[in-house]
Structure 1
Amino acid sequence: MSLPSRPRVGRIAKENFSHYFKDLKSQPYHDATSARGAGSHHRLRQIVWNPLGTLVATVASDKTIRVWNPERKELKHSTELRGHLAGVEKIAFNPVKEAELCSVSNDGVVKLWDVRTKACVNEIKGLGNAHTLAWAPDGSSLLVGNRRGELFQISPDKSAVISSRQLPVDTNQMAFCWSGEKVFLPTTDGKIRILSYPELEPVLHVNHAVKDGESAEFMLKGHTASCLTTELAPTGRYLATGGADSIIALFDTKDWICQRTVSRMVGPVKCISFSFDGSYVVAGCEEGSGIDVTHVETGELVYTFKTVGPCEAVAWAPTRYCLAYSDLGVLRIIDLDKKSSPSVPT
């Protein structure tokens, strides 16, 4: 497994970000069924990259899973994965295998795919109205959550659930810490739980007395409505959370204090993505237009990628300044490394 050989642009200072991107054009990747535009049933719900940044997969509201080679925009070079009978809620590549993709459907079925052969190599059923999915960082197991507050630990090699846990509050899109020892669970009451893995027990507790019957579990609080998603920066320095209150909260992972919030979104924050160096963050939303790029350390808006419609799905590539996003049902990618010899302003 080797990385593609191409020049790489290193970390960009926030004052230079717009200089690098202002003249770049996005590349559309057209699925034949997406030509019907925003009113069609082909709305892209999620975009994910494989660990090398050599493949990008999308899932649409019509159950379509498609894997693209970012170097080849033609539909004939993409791969469609078929087999789910109900809507696909989430997809995710194995973090240590470039061609293994997992998908979860709201009919309670999880499928593991080899995207090179289009084969479904494993299937786990009976998970209820499943809607969240996260790989452990070593790729040995996954967590799947359903809308009844149940969490399931599964293995990519086994067709039965390893273990399950009923939680007191429904959870949304979760994320692991990079060691795999903790998992961050955003909840429908706006808090974020920090649980051990695989035990799924609270890791932190408050350091003051609590009343009888109250929980001593320490939880992050940054939203006034349901917390919908969470993402850990590649550096591990910040945990970002997005809520139905249209706010992105950035927590310092050293002291778990919310360092800053971003409130420029005009609708619920559906997904969050950090640039490969952890310097910038973007988010997806079902409302508004444009993609705001925020400098993580200061919270400043450094650039806005213009779009025609809302961008529910956005994802930075894991190895370079390359952004994939949805716009009117079409996957678009803007790749800084394809710009010829960008010069830094003096």
Structure 2
Amino acid sequence: MAPAPRRDLLPKEHFAFAFGKLKTQNYHDPAARAPGSHTIRTLAWNPTGQLIAAGSVDRTLRIWNPERPNVRYSTDLRGHTAGVEKVVFNPVRDAELASCSTDGTVRFWDVRSKTCVSRLDIGGEPFTLSWSPDGSTIIAGRKDDILVPISVTSPSTPNILSNGISASPTPSKPNASTYTALEPHPQNVQTNATTFSHKISTPSSPDLHFFATTGDGTVKIISYPSFNIQHTLNAHTSACSAVALSPLGRYLAIGGSDALISLWDTTDWICRRTLSSENGGAIRNVSWSFDGRFICGAWDEPGCGGHGLEIFHAESGDSVYTVPTSGNINAGIPAVAWHPSRYWLAYSTTGDGPGSGLKIVGAAGGGL
């Protein structure tokens, strides 16, 4: 994978001034035929940040080039027959995307050839996905609280997209991955989001670990492939719905239905601080900036987007900037995603205004 360009790191004191000067780019999808019909529930950047995937409740799955916002430069991936709940790129194969839908399937896509390369019927209604850092495993979570591991066997050499979605098609079968759904693992408590640790499996230490948020306010640290629970964090007083590990692995961010984001030190599993936004409402997802200094969360309940998208400094817990959103009190912010190597922030909005849909702060004019 090509190394990400080095960026100057913004200190807390300069963040508001520098980030506040960035322009916001809008990405209009013609699939939005009526107000509220095209709510984007999930966003994901590919590893090099050249593409961003957006999945919607109306089953639209579109891949955008952030620097070319006209829809003719995007790719519409068709196949799901119900709303797209989660999209994730393979961390080591830049053109390989996974998506899940309440149609009961997990689909895998080659965004260069614009084709679905595999479809797995995993039963139930999958609504969450997480990909291990070595690209070997995906955990799919169903709404009936069953976790389904998926084995991904890829060629030894990562297949990296170099020039966005216009790159040449996948050459042939030998370079294709294979996907196998393994034995499902029912959970004894409501299970929401999952994410893997940054640890890479090695011959001397083959187990992976992932984090699973639950409806009883806890987060379980689970060993894979055994599914043994290694530790339980008593994180929130109500359901935990979102989880994200900082890029350097120092903090685990946990979002809850109590409208709080808690930051846990991964060395001793102590909660160092909590973040609270004026938006209120249950937190749907959280995202870290590439340097692990800044964090924000998505609140998708009506009325939660009217105050803007609040960005926090992780080390102090201070609110450092609020991105103006629609200003519509009925708007929500269902999804948010920081670029993997730049201070670009993608988010989606709902509501009846013409500005609803995908927006990226920083993409217009190059950004930071």
Q: TM-score over 0.5 for the alignment?
A: yes
Give 5+ residue unaligned stretches, structure 1: 205-218
The structure in which a higher percent of residues are strand is 2
Q: Of residues 78, 81, 97 in structure 2, which corresponds to 1:82? A: 78
SS at match of 2:129: strand
Question: Which runs of structure 2 are paired with 1:17-32 in the superposition (5 Å)?
Answer: 17-32=15-30
Distance 1:338 1:138 in 2: 33
1:166 maps to 2:186: yes
Tell me which residue corresponds to 1:214: none
Deviations 1:148-170 (A, max 9, x none): 22111112444542222111112
1:316 maps to 2:321: no
1:326 maps to 2:348: yes
Deviations 1:271-323 (A, max 9, x none): 10000000000111113221111000010000000001321111000111111
Tell me which residue corresponds to 1:306: 324
Q: Of residues 55, 67, 72 in structure 1, which corresponds to 2:51? A: 55
Tell me which residue corresponds to 1:266: 280
- Which deviates further from its counterpart, 161-170 or 65-74? 161-170
Distance 2:83 2:293 in 1: 34
- Partner amino acid for 2:296? V
1:139 maps to 2:153: no
- Structure 1 residues 158 and 164 mapped into 2: Cα distance closer, same or farther (>3 Å)? farther
Distance 2:47 2:137 in 1: 16
- Structure 1 residues 167 and 4 mapped into 2: Cα distance closer, same or farther (>3 Å)? closer
Distance 2:33 2:120 in 1: 33
- Structure 1 residues 187 and 235 mapped into 2: Cα distance closer, same or farther (>3 Å)? same
Verify the 8 A CA contact 2:44 2:52 in the aligned structure 1: yes
Verify the 8 A CA contact 2:64 2:74 in the aligned structure 1: yes
SS at match of 1:70: coil
Verify the 8 A CA contact 2:44 2:337 in the aligned structure 1: yes
- Partner amino acid for 1:187? T
Q: Of residues 82, 92, 105 in structure 2, which corresponds to 1:109? A: 105
Give 5+ residue unaligned stretches, structure 2: 153-176, 201-207, 351-355
Verify the 8 A CA contact 1:230 1:272 in the aligned structure 2: yes
Distance 1:339 1:101 in 2: 25
Verify the 8 A CA contact 2:24 2:363 in the aligned structure 1: no
SS at match of 2:225: coil
SS at match of 1:19: helix
- Partner amino acid for 2:288? F
Q: Of residues 94, 98, 101 in structure 1, which corresponds to 2:90? A: 94
Verify the 8 A CA contact 1:228 1:243 in the aligned structure 2: yes
User: Aligned-pair distance for 1:339?
Assistant: 5.5
- Partner amino acid for 1:2? A
Tell me which residue corresponds to 1:213: none
- Partner amino acid for 2:12? K
What TM-score, normalized by structure 1, do the two folds share? Answer: 0.89
Verify the 8 A CA contact 1:21 1:336 in the aligned structure 2: no
Tell me which residue corresponds to 2:243: 230
- Which deviates further from its counterpart, 222-231 or 153-162? 153-162
Question: Which runs of structure 2 are paired with 1:236-275 in the superposition (5 Å)?
Answer: 236-264=249-277, 265-275=279-289
Distance 1:10 1:319 in 2: 10
Tell me which residue corresponds to 1:189: 216
Question: How many residues are paired up?
Answer: 323
Tell me which residue corresponds to 2:9: 11
SS at match of 2:136: coil
1:296 maps to 2:314: yes
Distance 1:313 1:118 in 2: 24
- Structure 1 residues 94 and 322 mapped into 2: Cα distance closer, same or farther (>3 Å)? same
Distance 1:200 1:162 in 2: 13
Q: After TM superposition, where is structure 1 displaced by more than 3 Å over at least 4 residues in a row?
A: 1-5, 156-160, 336-340
- Structure 1 residues 159 and 127 mapped into 2: Cα distance closer, same or farther (>3 Å)? farther
User: Aligned-pair distance for 1:65?
Assistant: 0.4
What TM-score, normalized by structure 2, do the two folds share? Answer: 0.84
Distance 1:305 1:138 in 2: 34
Distance 2:30 2:298 in 1: 23
Tell me which residue corresponds to 1:2: 2
